[in-house]
Structure 1
Amino acid sequence: MPLSDRYLTICRDPDSEEVLARDGDLEAHSILQRAGFVPVHRLHETYHRAPIGLPRDEETGLATEAVARLRAAGYHVDCDADFDTSHRPLRWQVLGASVAHLAERIRQATSTGEAAEILTELTAPCDGILDAVGHILIAAAEFHDGLGTDSAPYTARRLRYLAEENLRVIHTDLVHTRNDLADQHAPHPGRTECTQEVPAGERERSAVCACPPPPRALPVPPPPVAGGPRR
């Protein structure tokens, strides 16, 4: 990871008076957003700002909390004096980390049964992850039903569409994938566990296991010779 990604600035812009956070990697951006900052995506950069309409003292508190969380995570933060703090809050494992762990388990799976078991955590009909995401989307839609702003009805409809249409397509496809894997009962040919045993009929005396040799890379053909008239 480049050292520049471990460095951020959180300052009040002298022209706009906005509290802005710049630089950092995706983990830093996640910390900023959990502290209350709003991401702003531009053509050449992504930065974060305090929410619109906050009183100045709340902006200061939000920025100070962000500085504390970032420094607790090992980031170097250059900030205004008003935002500086020696507080270092404890770091808790975020919910997304436990879900992302399923990806690592799939990468380590050695059989179709193992992969199917992991995908079941996503597709289970009552308490699977996708089912929970659907409940969250519907709850967010219900929240917007009574919000009273001009855009709230549209947002509520959009959230329900995501839950009832887009998420349903993803869920259906993953269920078929999970069921297909569950029916195969086969080891993954590229991830077979090594038994460290040599079969009796092995011809090579130097062999230490029964694993097949790695696939041989085909030679790359030379680039074509440019045609042209001979002198």
Structure 2
Amino acid sequence: MTPEILFEDNHCLVLNKPAGMLSQGDETGEPSLVTWTADYWKAKYAKPGNVYVGLVHRLDQPTSGVVLLARTSKAAARLADQFRTGGVSKLYWAIVEGRPDQDAGDWVDHLEKDHRTNRVRTTGEGEGKVARVAFEVLDSAAGLTKLALRPSTGRSHQLRVQLAERGMPIVGDRKYGSKRLVRALDGEPRIALHARELTFQHPTLGQAIRIEAPVQADWPESSPGWSGSTRGR
């Protein structure tokens, strides 16, 4: 799996993460965006030793789309602060089972993560962490719906849990109730969730940077009539 470079300068790197690739390495030793970026920068800039890679946010392994990394610690701190204070705009596409009662609206939940099982659940008001997302129906037919999702918080598994809680699991997300299976390009399971767009302030120039990530070949066809094929368009 090879990420697609969407934007690069002396401070930032924006990649289109393939579904199935880790954002950051773990105990499995599988390749990740961080290790790929380190190798890429070592080769490009002829760096003999370690290079700094600042991962300021991440996507779940079965999710595809836009991820922002920093080349310096100063840039990483400034970008991380934007994510922390809500200064970054995020747009996701999702194909879900079912359909919302309304064509657009907002959902607010309280979420809590069980680190032993790596699962997230909703809790009562006043417990857990607040999760907010605005949704819009883009298309719907044959029991499936394509949604645009704009989260204003960045909780672990947030969109997956908020959708599943409302009886609309993301297609392919068997962890949270989907009955369908979708394969990534490497043959491993993926889910029909794609980080489509990211807008942030450049850490040194102060300009707004808007990046759009195209869907990849393993993205289920956007037509809600899709019935289980993993062929992308």
The reply to whether TM is greater than 0.5 is: no
TM-score (norm 1): 0.21
Larger Rg: 1
Q: Which has the larger strand fraction?
A: 2
Q: Which has the larger helix fraction?
A: 1
TM-score (norm 2): 0.21
